[in-house]
Amino acid sequence: MMPGVCPACGVAYNKWREKVARAMAPAEQPRALEEGELEAQLEPLEAPEPWWLRLFHYACFMPSDRHESAFWGHCVILVVFVLWGFSIMLDGIDGAALGTSFLHLVNLPFHEYGHVMFSPFGEWWMLLGGSLFQILLPWFPLLYFMIAQRDNFAASLMLWWSGQNFLDVAPYIADAPTRYLPLTTGNEDSHDWWNLLRISDALDWAGPLSVICFALGVAVMLLAMLWGGFLLRVEWIGRTRGEAVDVQED
């Protein structure tokens, strides 16, 4: 007979006694929370960061490249675009800088394509489509540079181009009542904004609308230049900190 087993009934009484003792033992009391633990457990979970704030952080704090040659190249490019932008903005709506700029010739084919693109939506949208498409076009490469290439500095230049297109459209709007500007068709009756404002019975609004368009262009170009400059500052900080770390490691 095995030890600890009753010879009469075959029950392992030692195991039975342990089970009974555990069942009759007082339940373990929960440990009292120490000071500060209850508050820590009751702290609310952090709300997820809103999408627009994530986009802002990505756009402003994700420089395109910290390589030294790329950094100084970006500095030169930004200086060129700042000087070029201010020369256009300060010349005003009636100045010759917009019409004689080579960018005006670059924008013109996209303007004409905009008429074709928006023509299925009716005459009014077909007339507006030229100016609208040339303003919106730079946003396609802008998004491509930001998302696919992760190159926010290049994206800031595309934003500058969109602002320049606002400025490019402003003299065309202002010219609607007089139709002095030469047109590609050679026919003054094909003037987009003269037709648009005439159909909308708003020809008297040509002057204020052109000023609004010009002001929007200035705001967008200034924003683009500030964006590019801020990215260069981030690049500079990252590059100098990287050099400092290398020195310490050596």
Give the start-to-end residue ranges of the domains of the chain. 66-249
The tokens 């005006």 sit on which residue? 104
Q: Give the global pTM.
A: 0.74
CB proximity list for 231: less than 8 A, separation 6 or greater: 60, 63, 64, 74, 152, 153, 156
Report pLDDT digits (tens) over 27-71: 555 565 555 555 555 555 566 777 667 776 766 666 665 566 688
Residue 211 has pLDDT above 80, yes or no: yes
Q: Which two tokens stand for residue 215?
A: 């002001």
Q: Which two tokens stand for residue 186?
A: 């050679």
Helix axes 152-174, 123-136, angle to 10 degrees: 140
Percent of the chain predicted with pLDDT > 90:
50
What distance in Å separates the CA atoms of residue 27 and residue 149, rounded to the nearest whole number? Answer: 63
Q: How much is the average pLDDT of 67-80?
A: 85
Return the minimum-mean-pLDDT range out of 13-27, 50-64, 205-219.
Answer: 13-27
The total number of residues written for the chain in this structure = 250
Continuous segment of H or E residues that includes residue 172: helix 152-174
CB proximity list for 216: less than 8 A, separation 6 or greater: 163, 166
179 and 194 in contact (C-beta within 8 Å)? Answer: yes
85 and 164 in contact (C-beta within 8 Å)? Answer: yes
DSSP code of 75?
Answer: H
